[in-house]
Structure 1
Amino acid sequence: MATQAMQTMRRIGFLGPRGTFSEVALRSRPESEHAEAVPYLSVDAALGALRSGEVDAAVVPIENSVEGGVPATLDSLAHGDPLRVVGEMIVPVTFVLAARPDTAFADVRAVSTHPHAWAQVRAFVARELPTARYVPASSTAASAVDLAGGADTWHEATAYQAAVCHEMVARDHGLTVLAHDIGDNTEAVTRFVLVARPGPVPAPTGSDKTTVVLFQKIDYPGGLLGLLEQFAVRGINLTRLESRPTGESLGQYCFSIDLEGHLHEARVTEALMGLHRVCAQVRFLGSYPKADASAVTVSPAHADRAYEQARQWRESLESFESFESPER
């Protein structure tokens, strides 16, 4: 982001409590050096604080390499007052099984963590704790914090004896690590996004991603294919495509999409204009630099120069100057 925009981020919210992977993602951003980090107990709370002006930006998880998109984030970005994604971060995720110091491995009858973390340790639990039940938590850190909170916050009705979390959180809250590196996939990562209120779109870098949400006017056979063709004919690669219920009625879905490219590129602009013609709504969620900084490959036929040459050729038809396509 531009330096001026970074300086305006004085308070940045994140999915808390302290010690979540969302905070790790936030700390990796240069904006965090000049901003107060404010934890919130849910994605909706963090993005709600952003919409209300309580914070200037928010960091939330949007996608996991094992479990896919994060529904709370996808749904909150698709509805409500518009927000813009201005950056993304990729964080490797490693988990430990943590418990109170007086708890032995054999004492664990229930385990708590975030649903996406639970999906990433299922094989470990099935092998080592086959009879343990699962207790959902709002975040990995929340499960550890509540477990360490003592009798005032720990109730037998929702009791669990262990939490799946980051080792740092376990140590910070006085928990004992019963097992290290318990993830089923050692290469697992989670993608986080830095979200702000709408503002100027930053200039393209050549390594950019754009996020949109598409709402169909009507559901019909081949409807999704028609939307995807807008990208295909312009040589645009999609890196994520997920359907989410709109909440209006059963069978009504919108499509959350990440694509390679930037709004200021002709091929992306024309694709979004084409979608605007055929969709009930196109929600633009931002163009921003890719976390891995890898260059986006664009064929000559879909480069900005090709679109400009086509426009010039079209204009020449009106003046009868030429009926030939310009040489490439």
Structure 2
Amino acid sequence: MTSAPPTTVAPAASAPTRRTYSYLGPAGTFTEAALAQVTEARDQIWRPVRNVGEALADVVEGRSDAAMIAIENSVDGGVSTAQDALATMPGLRIVGEYLVPVSFVLVGRPGTRLSEVSLVAAHPVAYAQCLQWLSANLPEHAHLPAASNVASAVGIVDGVSDADAAIAPPGILEHYDLELLAEGIGDNVNAVTRFVLVSRTVPPAPPTGADKTSLIVELPEDHPGALLELLEQFATRGVNLSLLASRPIGDALGRYRFVIDADGHIEDERMADALLGLRRFSPKVIFLGSYPRADRAVVHYPDRYSDEVFVEARDWLRGLISGEPV
């Protein structure tokens, strides 16, 4: 009797590897709201951390594929801890930016009424951004500083805070059982925080026409006109700067590095030429990345700074060197 051939069983398809994203936690923070905007991060692993340094260390050391960090606030300016970390931790690259409107709510334990509030827990930055509302609506309140916008509310939930109410992001209500006492209490309705998604060093994504390039540059020495020489690398090539912030290097008084956001992409001829000029001028240029702008605003510039003009000029120079007839 002939035996039947053995049945071949196809190997089970392996599940796709999930990516890990670090963000300033716990749940309910503005950073979590920024990460929620990242399409490729949906249904992936979100790793809450305690500070920016931990988030970036996760990326450098391979625990996470990318980290979402706050880099700039429209009211308070640059986030110095993030800027300093990017300046001193090698192997990182910004791959995207995201904008989150900054709105605050006042919350308390279930059953709390606004008239009962006398002690308000809040992160100092959030407290400063809500001070006008607090002065008008709770003129006799006292402030209890909190470690973060979410920690102010979590302390109330856990019973470890003496505060009657807390200033927190609106997302806090999705994660904790709290009484909403007031919403939209920020003094500046147009406040926005800019976040960046940071990965390990990778090639920049192709230019979109609505791009931004981030850099950190050190001056070679302190002399009259040094900063002007740095800025001229961009001005003479038609590159607009949307951010210029100074941060102390820390090795001596009067030594600064500059955090720069420039309109355009490293593959744009004018931007590439500006970076070459910077590299000749500065002892240290850190390229943080070229990535699409969050607002997707197309970068406009005069025709005299078009890619074709830079290419034609280089071809002209090659012709002179090679002896081609003019």
Aligned residues: 311
Moved more, 124-133 or 227-236: 124-133
Q: Deviations over 1:91-145 (max 9, x none)?
A: 1121111122354435544433334423321221233334544444343122212
Verify: 1:147 aligned to 2:171, yes or no: no
In structure 1, the gaps of 5 or more residues are: 1-6, 324-328
Verify: 1:248 aligned to 2:257, yes or no: no
Is contact 1:209–1:261 with CA below 8 Å preserved after alignment? Answer: yes
Select which of 50, 55, 58 maps to 1:46: 55
Moved more, 294-303 or 124-133: 124-133
Verify: 1:306 aligned to 2:312, yes or no: no
Verify: 1:273 aligned to 2:276, yes or no: yes
Structure whose CA Rg is larger: 2
CA distance in 1, matches of 2:322, 2:171: 70
Q: Which residue of 2 aligns with 1:326?
A: none
Q: Which amino acid in 2 is paired with 1:61? A: A
Q: Which residue of 2 aligns with 1:226?
A: 229
The Cα shift of 1:20 comes to 0.5
Q: Which residue of 1 aligns with 2:171?
A: 168
Q: Which residue of 2 aligns with 1:70?
A: 79
Q: Which residue of 2 aligns with 1:289?
A: 292
Select which of 86, 102, 116 maps to 1:93: 102
Select which of 265, 270, 293 maps to 1:262: 265
CA distance in 1, matches of 2:83, 2:25: 18
CA distance in 2, matches of 1:266, 1:8: 38
Q: Which residue of 1 aligns with 2:131?
A: 122
CA distance in 1, matches of 2:249, 2:298: 34
CA distance in 2, matches of 1:304, 1:171: 49
CA distance in 2, matches of 1:8, 1:233: 47
The TM-score with structure 1 as length reference comes to: 0.88
Q: Which amino acid in 2 is paired with 1:72? A: T
CA distance in 2, matches of 1:312, 1:172: 61
CA distance in 2, matches of 1:246, 1:110: 39
Verify: 1:35 aligned to 2:44, yes or no: yes
Verify: 1:208 aligned to 2:211, yes or no: yes
CA distance in 2, matches of 1:205, 1:135: 46
Verify: 1:180 aligned to 2:183, yes or no: yes
1:102-141 equivalences in 2 (<5 Å): 103-141=112-150
Report the secondary structure of 2:41's partner residue.
Answer: helix
Is contact 2:28–2:174 with CA below 8 Å preserved after alignment? Answer: no
Is contact 1:260–1:296 with CA below 8 Å preserved after alignment? Answer: yes
Q: Which residue of 1 aligns with 2:199?
A: 196
Report the secondary structure of 1:147's partner residue.
Answer: helix
CA distance in 2, matches of 1:132, 1:215: 45
Is contact 1:42–1:138 with CA below 8 Å preserved after alignment? Answer: no
Q: Which residue of 2 aligns with 1:82?
A: 91
Is contact 1:167–1:177 with CA below 8 Å preserved after alignment? Answer: no
Q: 1:270 to 1:42 in 2, by over 3 A?
A: same
Report the secondary structure of 1:127's partner residue.
Answer: helix
CA distance in 1, matches of 2:304, 2:322: 25
Is contact 1:62–1:73 with CA below 8 Å preserved after alignment? Answer: yes
Report the secondary structure of 2:266's partner residue.
Answer: coil
The Cα shift of 1:19 comes to 0.7
The Cα shift of 1:170 comes to 3.6
Q: Which residue of 1 aligns with 2:13?
A: none
Q: 1:160 to 1:251 in 2, by over 3 A?
A: farther
The Cα shift of 1:233 comes to 0.5
In structure 2, the gaps of 5 or more residues are: 1-15
Q: Which amino acid in 2 is paired with 1:219? A: D
Q: Which amino acid in 1 is paired with 2:136? A: R
CA distance in 2, matches of 1:108, 1:47: 38
RMSD: 2.0
Select which of 42, 61, 66 maps to 1:57: 66
The Cα shift of 1:49 comes to 1.3
Q: Which residue of 1 aligns with 2:5?
A: none
Report the secondary structure of 2:207's partner residue.
Answer: coil
CA distance in 2, matches of 1:54, 1:101: 38
Is contact 1:61–1:191 with CA below 8 Å preserved after alignment? Answer: yes
